[in-house]
Structures are given as structure tokens and as C-alpha cells.
């Protein structure tokens, strides 16, 4: 409560940044408006996705490589950075990528990660992205003519292409693209089939059909699931209500996710 009041009264409205410490001891900057809530909640509480983060960490190994699509200021990957050897972070917002680089440099980790100011989807090309100022987490891919929205044109790439160019073998992918996650997955089909990936975390907005994700993963012999607090579940009601979803290869899901829970 003290930190909440200090942030509101002494930092947020005086254009001063705050430094937070993540669960793994690494640190990150929180900027005031117009960065929206990028990292703000960490000032007075644990990470908003605490259980998801701990679950991901339990399935990472030393030397792993991660992909973060829609990284914003990089906190989700920074919270894993003590466990992995490196990775690649994407965001269509230039300020978000700038902030992410700043946070990783602050922790002397920037040399291990690649930062790309690009949107990610099913095909390469150009796309329009909202510009709400700062590193707002509300920015998203839109149609050029959407009324009343200030947009910028950015390069659109695919995970298949960027991972191939960098010769990476990622084991974990996090996707948070404000409703564009399925398009990102479609552009990562080759990567998903390669056999290196163990886990994908994605965001499903309420206006996106869960059946479309299930159909995609079923076609690749992957299992989609959610967390009920800190336990994985395939319960259809939980899946339908969950914004954060996971997927894993069927064999890995049975051998290393469900079996671990059975012995917990």
C-alpha cells in the first residue's frame, strides 16, 4: 500500500520512473503515462501472471532459448533470463523495444538477446499498428482505415523466418499480441514441427474463438491447456474462461506435465 501511494503521488504524475525487482532478482524500470500499465502492478504486488511464470520456469532448462512475441518492455522474458542462455524479443512498438533494450542493458543481459522492432504474423509484409504513446500495452495490429486510431506502418515477419535467419532452436515461445496470437502461430508452423519446442504460452482475448486454437494445435498433435491456479488442466470451462493458455507437444504433455502433477 505504501508503494502504491508513493507511485501515485510522487512518481506517476511527476514523470519519474520507478525501479522494480522481479521474482528472480533482476530489475526493470516502470515509466509513467503514456506507458499505461507496463510493469506498474509489480510496484505493489507480485507479477500479475505469477503462477504462469512459475509454471514456465519449472519447464525451462539451463541453455534454453526463448522467443517473446509482443514483448512490450520485456519483463516476461526478463523474469526468465536467469535460467536461459538467450532469446529473441519482438514488438511492433518502437518505444516498447527501446524500453526492453534498456531493461536488459540495465541487468547486463542485452548481449544474450536479440530485439526486433517488427510485427509477427502468418506472412511477411507490412501492417498497421496503433501508436497510443510510450510503450502502452493496449497497442495492437489494426486495419489502416480504422476510425479514430493513430497508426504507424511497420514490417511484418514470421517466427519461422526470423528463427531460421538467427539459427535458433527455441524451447519456449510466449505470445501476447492483443488478439493476433493465432496469426503468429500460423507463421510458426515449421518451428512448432521441428521438435525443439516444449511449451508455448499465448493470450486469447474474449472475442477470439477458442475452437480455432484447439483446431490449430490438434492438427500438429499438440495439447492445449490452462492453469487452474498453479495446476494444468484441460477442463473445458476453465479453458473457456482463461485468457492465458498453454500448449505442448502431446508426448511432452503426457510425460512431463501431467505425470509431474500426478506425482506432486
Asked whether the predicted pLDDT for residue 147 surpasses 60, the reply is no
Three-class DSSP category at 107: coil
Domain-wise residue ranges, the chain: 2-262
> What is the CATH code of the structural domain delimited by 2-262?
3.40.50.150
- The answer to whether the beta carbons of residues 61 and 160 sit under 8 Å apart is no
Between 38-52, 129-143, 187-201, the lowest mean confidence (pLDDT) is in: 38-52
Q: How confident is the model at residue 146 (pLDDT cuts 50, 70, 90)?
A: confident
Q: Mean pLDDT in the chain?
A: 92
* CA separation for the pair 118, 161 (Å, rounded): 12
* CA separation for the pair 226, 247 (Å, rounded): 8
Radius of gyration of the chain (CA): 18
* CA separation for the pair 136, 83 (Å, rounded): 27
Give residue-wise pLDDT tens across range 199-208: 999 999 877 8
Amino acid at each position: 500500500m505504501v508503494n502504491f501511494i508513493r507511485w501515485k503521488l510522487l512518481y506517476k504524475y511527476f514523470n519519474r520512473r520507478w525501479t522494480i525487482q522481479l521474482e528472480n532478482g533482476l530489475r526493470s524500470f516502470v515509466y509513467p503515462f503514456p506507458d499505461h500499465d507496463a510493469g506498474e502492478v509489480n510496484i505493489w504486488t507480485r507479477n500479475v501472471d505469477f503462477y504462469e511464470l512459475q509454471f514456465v520456469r519449472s519447464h525451462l532448462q539451463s541453455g534454453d532459448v526463448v522467443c517473446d512475441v509482443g514483448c512490450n518492455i520485456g519483463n516476461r522474458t526478463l523474469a526468465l533470463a536467469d535460467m536461459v542462455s538467450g532469446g529473441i524479443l519482438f514488438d511492433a512498438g518502437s518505444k516498447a523495444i527501446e524500453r526492453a533494450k534498456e531493461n536488459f542493458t540495465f541487468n547486463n543481459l542485452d548481449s544474450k538477446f536479440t530485439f526486433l522492432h517488427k510485427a509477427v504474423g502468418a506472412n511477411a509484409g507490412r501492417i498497421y499498428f496503433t501508436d497510443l504513446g510510450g510503450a502502452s500495452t493496449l497497442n495492437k495490429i489494426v486495419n489502416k482505415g480504422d476510425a479514430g486510431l493513430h497508426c504507424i506502418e511497420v514490417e511484418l515477419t514470421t517466427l519461422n523466418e526470423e528463427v531460421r535467419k538467427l539459427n535458433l532452436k527455441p524451447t519456449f515461445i510466449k505470445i501476447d499480441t492483443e488478439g493476433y496470437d493465432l496469426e503468429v502461430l500460423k507463421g510458426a508452423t515449421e518451428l512448432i514441427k521441428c521438435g525443439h519446442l516444449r511449451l508455448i504460452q499465448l493470450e486469447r482475448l474474449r472475442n477470439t474463438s477458442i475452437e480455432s486454437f484447439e483446431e490449430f494445435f490438434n492438427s500438429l498433435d499438440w495439447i492445449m491447456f490452462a492453469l487452474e491456479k498453479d495446476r494444468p488442466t484441460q477442463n473445458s470451462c476453465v479453458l473457456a474462461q482463461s485468457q492465458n493458455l498453454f500448449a505442448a507437444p502431446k508426448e511432452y504433455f503426457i510425460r512431463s506435465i501431467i505425470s509431474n502433477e500426478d506425482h506432486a
